[in-house]
Amino acid sequence: MNGEAVNGNAVNGDMVPVGPVYDGELVDENGQGVTATATPARERWRVRAGRWWRHSPRVPLALKSGPHARQAVRDGVAWLLLLPRRLLRAAARGVLAAFRWWRKWVTVRDYREAAVSSDKLADKFTEIRELTIFRWKVTGAVVAAFASALLVAWLLYGSITWWVVGGLAVLVLGVLGRRRDGSPGRKAVLSGPRSLTWTMDPQVLVDAFRDAKLIGKDETLRLVERPTRQGDGWAITVDLPATRKAADVVKNRDALASALAVDEVQLIVERVRGNGGHAGRVAMWVADSDPYATPPQRTPLLAAERWDAWRPVPFGRDARNRRIHVPLVWTSLLIGAIPRQGKTFTARLATAGLILDPHTRLYVADFKAGKDWDAAALVAHRFLSGDESDDVLTLIGWLVELIAEVQDRYRRMRELDDRVCPESKVTPAMSRDPALRMPITPIIIDEVQVPLEDRTSLEVQGKKLTAGEYVGELLTWLAKKGPAAGVVLVLATQRPDSKTIPSGLRAVLGSRFALRVMDWRDSNIVLGEQMNTRGHDASRLLPSHKGVGILRPDGDTDAGADVLAITVRTDYMPNDDWRTICERGRALREVEGTLTGQAAGHDVPAELDHAVAARAIGSGAGAASAEPRMEAQRDLPEPLASVIEYLSANDSDREFVPNSELIEALGADPVWFGRQMSELGCRSVRERISTEHGVRQVRGYVIAELLALADRSAD
């Protein structure tokens, strides 16, 4: 091929340099020139049609290739050979189905069932009888007319009449008797579990509510939103009758699940709150199968190079497979469970997001004394692992140090400009400014019941108390005043009972997460009083649901701002992933220059200033510890003194104590006890409480009124 290079081209009078351009002609293998000719339009259309025929999904495979065509012919021949047998069997089923329909019609079953459901069968008996006789007469008239028409056709056309009528009858009965799932009498089935059918027939949902005693026989539901697919389940919103409450439906979720023939973990019932809801509007979601039976997913924090502590931490997924995040700044988190349910994994999951923020300063105390938290020593400002009394004293030193720092932060925030610190709260910019020295400071304590139950005797500012009591007072103060100053508490315990964690401490822990516990009382201790009556009971979680718990968040979640609690399957983060995140957090701190304390090799002991801590605790609300001030109440009259002492020994966050419980605990005569309490000004009231046998209305006393009366009597 010969050619000539062109170095430029005139465009608008200007010379523009371009690459080399060649001209030539195509030649074949013999060196002869080949002349290009235009493809005829008919050929192009044929090529396009052939391409469409080969690749279009609308064309059957049998028309595209020989093997598929041969297989289609074999299938067609087999279908034709089996058609008579299938048609006769379908016609037999059609005869049975037609007979059942006729029998139901002639006996007026629909009218009879309506009268029975409304308890008016006796009043409607005469009408039902007359209608039954009328339908028998109609049946006889139709049979006589059909027989007469058949006889006339036979006389006119001969035996061909029987072939035509018989063929049409077999065809109609075959169509009527074709196999369909769920059709009675058309498929032999054994009696077994019921199936969920309310998504196709709303009347089944109404019947389920009636069977669960949530609405009456004459009441019905109003459909607000029709059933729609959400995730791997069905969602529907209904309005209850005017006399019914959504809270009762939530409380009796088990009965409704039984009526719908699903496991209770597959059913989510929530009251619709806000502008779009009211006290009688219920939102339901029913999963197709157990939503927690699938393997857990790895935490998305593994793919994050770093994280912002001010962002909610990825925590897990709910039953609808929605991602759930947990806010940690300006709040605190309590995790409770029985052993081997994923408590430590959950605490590490919440901590992982804080580790990936290089501007946080961590305090980690592992009283399990294992190696689950050892990797945290790479990033922790303070770290300990042990369960001895010396370890508890070390923790006390940390808490005293943090109380002094929180007070110092508040003093310095008062002196800052309003643009820097608009409120008495740490802001994201303040937490990242090294000059202000106010980083987000999480303190993570695993097996917190160990320090809270330590009986080592201490003397603080002339007051003798145990180490456990002192730890409880310090943690309570930090949970109250620490979040606004940037101190975050993450506490995990395997003994969620009223004696282990003081009610004063539990009451100020914002977020709660309860994995499986032994009974509803332990669940209420973690999640809050009466939570089981609101449909949230961690003792009902299955043992196979590892890492599944009920989250009561302090703040908005992906499930909505008005959600009281939600069942969550936490993400999975094994030890290798945990160490990877800790190593990544250390690398981030080394780059930012924020590696401090023990992680940086500076094992400086905490400065113990018990006087500052004692003054801080004393200047609180007067209830840092849940126990009443017994020294000031020694002269209380009986039986009030014994009642206050009993409430102190059986500390809990409940608001009401039954009268029968006090009488049994004190061994007092009921008549004398009631008269004496009445003379002292203690007024008994009736309240509904949750027991093992359901909700009962009992008489008792409001604890706040008893404590207020004790304070007045002591003065």
pLDDT higher than threshold 70 for residue 3: no
Rounding to the nearest 10 degrees, give the CA dihedral for residues 660, 662, 668, 670: -30
pLDDT higher than threshold 80 for residue 30: no
Task: Give the whole-angstrom CA distance, residue 18 versus residue 471.
Answer: 82
CA torsion sign, 561 to 565 to 568 to 574? positive
CA torsion sign, 478 to 479 to 482 to 488? positive
Confidence band (pLDDT; 50, 70, 90) for 23?
low
Do residues 98 and 176 make contact, with C-beta atoms less than 8 angstroms apart? yes
Do residues 471 and 455 make contact, with C-beta atoms less than 8 angstroms apart? no
Per-residue pLDDT, 360: 95
Model confidence pLDDT, tens digit, residues 639-664: 777 787 777 766 555 678 888 888 87
User: 129-143, 354-368, 579-593, 619-633 — which is least confidently predicted?
Assistant: 619-633
Percent of the chain at pLDDT > 70 equals 81
Task: Give the whole-angstrom CA distance, residue 335 versus residue 550.
Answer: 10
Per-residue pLDDT, 191: 38
* pLDDT greater at residue 502 or residue 454: 454
Place of tokens 């250390």: 586
* pLDDT greater at residue 120 or residue 581: 581
Per-residue pLDDT, 364: 94
Mean pLDDT of all residues in the chain? Answer: 79
Confidence band (pLDDT; 50, 70, 90) for 562?
low
pLDDT higher than threshold 60 for residue 9: no
Identify the bridge partners of residue 179 per DSSP, sorted by sequence position: none
User: 267-281, 503-517, 694-708 — which is least confidently predicted?
Assistant: 694-708
Confidence band (pLDDT; 50, 70, 90) for 10?
very low
Task: Give the whole-angstrom CA distance, residue 654 versus residue 465.
Answer: 25
Model confidence pLDDT, tens digit, residues 193-228: 455 555 556 777 888 888 888 998 888 888 887 777
Identify the bridge partners of residue 557 per DSSP, sorted by sequence position: 560
Model confidence pLDDT, tens digit, residues 333-348: 999 988 888 888 899 9
- CB neighbours (10 Å) of residue 138? 12
Per-residue pLDDT, 713: 65
Per-residue pLDDT, 609: 61
pLDDT higher than threshold 80 for residue 312: yes
Per-residue pLDDT, 78: 82
* pLDDT greater at residue 605 or residue 115: 115
| Residues counted in the chain | 715
| DSSP SS3 for 370 | coil
Distances (CA, A) of 631 to 466, 503, 592, 634: 17, 20, 52, 6
Rounding to the nearest 10 degrees, give the CA dihedral for residues 541, 543, 547, 551: 20
Question: Is residue 647 within a helix (H) or strand (E), and if so which, with residue range?
Answer: helix 640-649
Strands 332-336, 511-514: pairing is parallel
Task: Give the whole-angstrom CA distance, residue 265 versus residue 449.
Answer: 30
pLDDT higher than threshold 80 for residue 573: yes
Confidence band (pLDDT; 50, 70, 90) for 622?
very low
Q: What is the mean pLDDT of residues 566-582?
A: 91
Whether this prediction's pTM lies above 0.85 is answered by no
Establish how many alpha carbons lie within 13 A of residue 640's alpha carbon, considering only the half-sphere containing its beta carbon. Answer: 27
Model confidence pLDDT, tens digit, residues 532-552: 777 788 888 888 888 899 998
Strands 332-336, 685-691: pairing is unpaired
Per-residue pLDDT, 16: 46
Q: What is the mean pLDDT of residues 383-408?
A: 90
Close Cβ partners of 615 (under 8 Å, ≥ 6 residues apart): none
User: 134-143, 313-322, 615-624 — which is least confidently predicted?
Assistant: 615-624
* pLDDT greater at residue 650 or residue 521: 521
CA torsion sign, 310 to 311 to 313 to 319? positive
Confidence band (pLDDT; 50, 70, 90) for 491?
very high
Distances (CA, A) of 520 to 494, 497, 533, 536, 540: 15, 11, 10, 9, 8
Confidence band (pLDDT; 50, 70, 90) for 578?
very high
Per-residue pLDDT, 694: 63
Q: What is the mean pLDDT of residues 661-673?
A: 76
Per-residue pLDDT, 633: 43
| DSSP SS3 for 384 | strand
Model confidence pLDDT, tens digit, residues 70-94: 878 887 888 888 888 888 888 888 8
Task: Give the whole-angstrom CA distance, residue 242 versus residue 220.
Answer: 10
Alpha-helix runs per DSSP H in 484-574: 503-506, 520-527
| DSSP SS3 for 8 | strand
Q: What is the mean pLDDT of residues 388-413?
A: 91
Structure tokens at 124: 């409607």
Confidence band (pLDDT; 50, 70, 90) for 6?
very low
DSSP code string of 357-378: -TTB--EEEETT-SSTTGGGGG
Close Cβ partners of 407 (under 8 Å, ≥ 6 residues apart): 612, 616
Per-residue pLDDT, 145: 92
Long-range Cβ contacts of 274-282 (<8 Å, 24+ apart): 274/562, 279/245, 279/246, 279/247, 280/239, 280/240, 280/241, 280/242, 280/244, 280/245, 280/246, 281/224, 281/237, 281/238, 281/239, 281/240, 281/246, 282/237, 282/238, 282/239, 282/240, 282/246, 282/249, 282/250
* pLDDT greater at residue 446 or residue 289: 446
* pLDDT greater at residue 433 or residue 109: 433
Structural domains of the chain sorted by starting position, each given as residue range(s) with its CATH number in brackets: 73-176 (no CATH), 202-287 (3.30.980), 300-618 (3.40.50.300), 630-714 (1.10.10)
Per-residue pLDDT, 71: 78
Question: Is residue 643 within a helix (H) or strand (E), and if so which, with residue range?
Answer: helix 640-649
Close Cβ partners of 465 (under 8 Å, ≥ 6 residues apart): 457, 458
Q: What is the mean pLDDT of residues 178-194?
A: 46
Per-residue pLDDT, 486: 92
Distances (CA, A) of 63 to 50, 72, 131: 12, 9, 58
Quick one: the chain helix, strand, coil %, rounded to 5? 45, 15, 40
Long-range Cβ contacts of 642-649 (<8 Å, 24+ apart): 642/666, 642/668, 643/677, 643/701, 643/706, 644/706, 644/707, 644/710, 647/703, 647/706, 647/707
DSSP code string of 234-301: EEEEEE--TT--HHHHHHTHHHHHHHTTS-GGGEEEEE--STT--TTEEEEEEESS-TTSSPPPBPGG
Per-residue pLDDT, 605: 65
* pLDDT greater at residue 563 or residue 557: 563
Model confidence pLDDT, tens digit, residues 286-304: 888 888 888 888 889 988 8
